[in-house]
Structure 1
């Protein structure tokens, strides 16, 4: 959530930032709502002050045996008491209206983020590795998996409908191996603390990281009002919700390997074949909680941690700086890591690493005490995929495909495969 005080002090800069993100100017509307809120609060405070003063005056009048004045003051206090409940309700309504308006606005992009309307405005930051050097025809992952006999979309559809997959035998093990490899790497080499957290959360947690209220249609909601997590970012970030942290203990770095659940409400007709866009998928999530001064450097560090996964697997990829029109709602700057998929003859996103500033910290009321001035400040948060397990499985299948249709296991995954070095047809 954005700071209304900052908007009041920088209305033109605020509207210019919204314009970069393709949104309409909102400063005038928000400041008018804030003026209403301030006016109602001032009126209520004036009532409270006058009520308190009149109550003292009643005591003085009674001490002086001025019954007429005391009765007049009592009548005034009674009128104020009758007037205050509607004023308090008006105050709550004004605060709620402003908070709701602010909660639906995207974060302000950093100055170095390229301006653009959509993914065509993204900029290549670096490219790592090379395309596979074999000469045999490339195949898409679903062709490979079905030919091997270990990837079944028909049975998945029978069980759950579209956008689900059943993996069996060595492909199921390969998926598990990829996830274990990632979580081990981030905990043992990159300094993240592994967390096992709930897969269902209350609406407050979804609000804290920015999924609610604007993106409810993208979520799966349970019958008792909880939500299935679309990413472990929700649980890992909200671990510090409502807390005051010591600056000396920052940054906090968390990672979790969990299923993620997404309705893909806006993806009709996109990636309908295969595993690229699923309602349920495994993801290794990275989250950092930092102070204001460290968040930009932490963003570079987190992105490097995600890139290291693909380097270790020998995959060709590029890292993109997303433009203002393609960034996520809560992000101030985002790097997308796109892995090369020979079967599609294209790069596809496999990780997205974002720095959010204090945007989520405000929503969660998560603060830290400054090292020098001891003042309370909102934490800065970052999140990234380290990486998406299903998409990494796709990349391994397509990049390690052999001419005979078998798939070689990358060296980094061999310790997790129980002696299996190659996946061959069932």
Structure 2
């Protein structure tokens, strides 16, 4: 709950600005005080009267308002809040933030604040995918800006893809996580999850039975302790948790790129079941069964994401945690893997068919560190996640 928390809500110009009205209502239902700031472009989509009525607060718009600025109003606004939320965060606002511009009230507040900032990007898919926007996003994440969304979906312009602003419940969950007073508050953590799909042709792929449930639970548990979580997930069976920055990928190569794009983190948990190989000669069109014999597939090794990060000379996370899904000699194989990959911990589990763990709702793991192996009892994946998140918190604090 957000009782007695003060949220400064900056509403940018875009069709998604209408969601800001519901966001104000939902935040106030949780007990938050909301002060709206409306940009010049935002006025084209929502009215100051609507925001004022729903927030029961004055709406701020003008940097050069003589009454407000007589007491340096933009400084006071930027410092009085517990959290600044930008929803929608347009490409223009993100560019201003990344470059440190301050030519209107919203951008000046964002530059003058000493509080955490959460943005909910919203824009056309081409604008979102443009290299300039992606550069700005990387800069903002590196500066510690929290990000929720965007989601994929239909655009007002008729196109489809990433760029839709996160839904209001997702933003509220991200606000909750940002204001959580847990032991990991303010610490950036990366979690990978799910399987990867390696194409054989446009309609077939190689994968494994990972559901993504354990990685998702870990990301959720870390966020509950206050961490700023970047969640890189393959095509999992379960939806990503709220309150984290989700990056969806398909292949191992895409996951590797997303991990490196996430920037500097204090801990990295590699729970994804990344395919060991991909098809080097994948077909550009569907391979037909035409009676000429079996297709000749050539396999190549996928990048070793865990080892690459664990062995970084510069920028290595303080704590690197890998997973080892084994069917035989679980502890011995996982211990050897930890030494080979040079990671700090390995979470090993027995995924032989009779356990029902792969794709199931429970897990029985052994935490392997430099000091030995600690077996945990079989429990729900959520319980495993909470125990691991607590251990991570202890290691980072």
TM-score under structure 2 normalisation?
0.24
Q: Which has the higher contact order (CA 8 A, sep 6+)?
A: 1
Select the structure that is richer in strand: 2
TM-score under structure 1 normalisation?
0.23
Larger radius of gyration: 1
Select the structure that is richer in helix: 1
